[in-house]
Amino acid sequence: MGQQRSRLARGVMMATGALLFSAAIKAGEINSGPDCSAITDWPAQITQVRLNESGVAFPASTKITSTLVASMKMNEKQRRDLQRARILDKQTLAMVGALYRQVYRITLLPPDSKAHIFITTTLASDEECSVALLSIAEIAQELTN
């Protein structure tokens, strides 16, 4: 139980960072890199898989949508930081070429239930959308205009 809380707290901190990251991106960088929601919808699929693995299951008939919120090409220092944090190894970093940190808004809408909204941070390259999943956080309450 304590380990799950620790993972949850780490995920919330990473998601908070992802939100700050997305707010700080310049308008010209928002659309850099691939839009993996349009290509394979990998961010939505991996979010649902990881939620199921952690015990948060949704029915098979759940409607899933994803929207690319932000995407930024990573520089060499950021790539080295991924290696130091053991998120990606040196060999993988050498193979992927350009690397992008991307933030997606994932909505899961189970039948006869309210929508569950998640922010997912992933890594993608020009060739591969599924380089890595960094974090998932559920939005408890969304304020809209």
Segment 48-107, tens digit of pLDDT = 889 989 998 888 888 988 999 999 999 999 999 999 999 998 888 888 889 999 999 999
* Top-confidence residue, 11 or 135: 135
Average pLDDT over residues 108-129: 90
Q: Where is 102: in which H helix or E strand?
A: strand 99-109
Q: Where is 137: in which H helix or E strand?
A: strand 132-139
Report the predicted TM-score, pTM, of the whole model to 2 decimal places: 0.75
Average pLDDT over residues 10-33: 51
Report residue 77 as tokens: 């220092």
Confidence at 26, pLDDT banded by 50, 70, 90? very low
Task: In whole angstroms, give the CA distance from residue 126 to residue 124.
Answer: 7
Task: In whole angstroms, give the CA distance from residue 44 to residue 64.
Answer: 7
Q: Are 103 and 69 in contact (CB under 8 A)?
A: yes
- At residue 14, the 3 state secondary structure works out as helix
Least confident of 5-14, 69-78, 125-134, 136-145: 5-14
* Top-confidence residue, 18 or 63: 63
